[in-house]
Structure 1
Amino acid sequence: MSQPTESFSDIIKGDKPVLVDFYADWCGPCKQQAPILKQLTDRAGDKVRVVKINVDKAQKAANQYQIRSIPTMIMFKGGKIVWRQSGVQPLHTLEGLVKQFGG
């Protein structure tokens, strides 16, 4: 039996901060960001949820959040945008956000 699919709006409404990485497979900087996000999830554990959204496959979401350059990262907390930045983000910046919004 398959699990019900969690909707994006359900994911971002939680108490835990959710870092959304808007990326594309063909994007060089996005490929640089991927291992940094892996390190973040390894180090932060369950303090943050990281979600990757491919802008080529999820154009509706990319339009909704007005993604104009990639990678763009958006941190949600309780369904609200608490931080947004385009370009490759270093691990220390992302860890600081988890501390700031992780409670």
Structure 2
Amino acid sequence: MKSSFKDIIDAEVPVLVDFYADWCGPCKTLAPILEQVKETMGDAVKIVKINVDKNQRLASAYQVRGVPTMLLFKKGKQLWRQSGVLQKQAIISAIQQHG
């Protein structure tokens, strides 16, 4: 999993990683917002969802303590991080500003 995750975040386009859990209420709120972000931004961003319960080592490696936590990567570098639910425009602004 780790090497393929590295391949994913090494992309030229910004990659927004959503660390979530199935039991997390705010994560369920964030999911449709991320779908709207993807619809709006299209190929300008890649959105990846990582289940922290199934990928504990990866969540630990990025010090994810609470869910949802979003991390933005480009060419393997972490550019932005935010925990909690943000509205669509706030997420798009963060991607445009940092990506």
- Normalising by structure 2, we get a TM-score of 0.93
RMSD over aligned CA atoms reads 1.2
Q: Does the 8 Å contact 1:29/1:87 carry over to 2?
A: yes
> Aligned residue for 1:3?
none
Unaligned ranges ≥5, structure 1 = 1-5
The runs of at least 4 consecutive aligned structure 1 residues that moved more than 6 Å come to: none
Percent identity, aligned pairs only, is 57
In structure 2, C-alpha distance between the alignment counterparts of 1:35 and 1:85, rounded to whole Å: 17
Q: 1:98, CA displacement in angstroms?
A: 2.6
> Aligned residue for 2:72?
75
Find out whether 1:48 has 2:45 as its counterpart: yes
Find out whether 1:91 has 2:88 as its counterpart: yes
SS in 2 for 1:9: helix
> Aligned residue for 1:9?
6
In structure 2, C-alpha distance between the alignment counterparts of 1:99 and 1:62, rounded to whole Å: 25
Q: Does the 8 Å contact 1:44/1:98 carry over to 2?
A: no
Find out whether 1:24 has 2:21 as its counterpart: yes
Name the count of aligned residue pairs.
Answer: 97
Unaligned ranges ≥5, structure 2 = none
User: In structure 2, what residue type is equivalent to 1:28?
Assistant: G
In terms of fraction of residues, the more helix-rich structure is 2
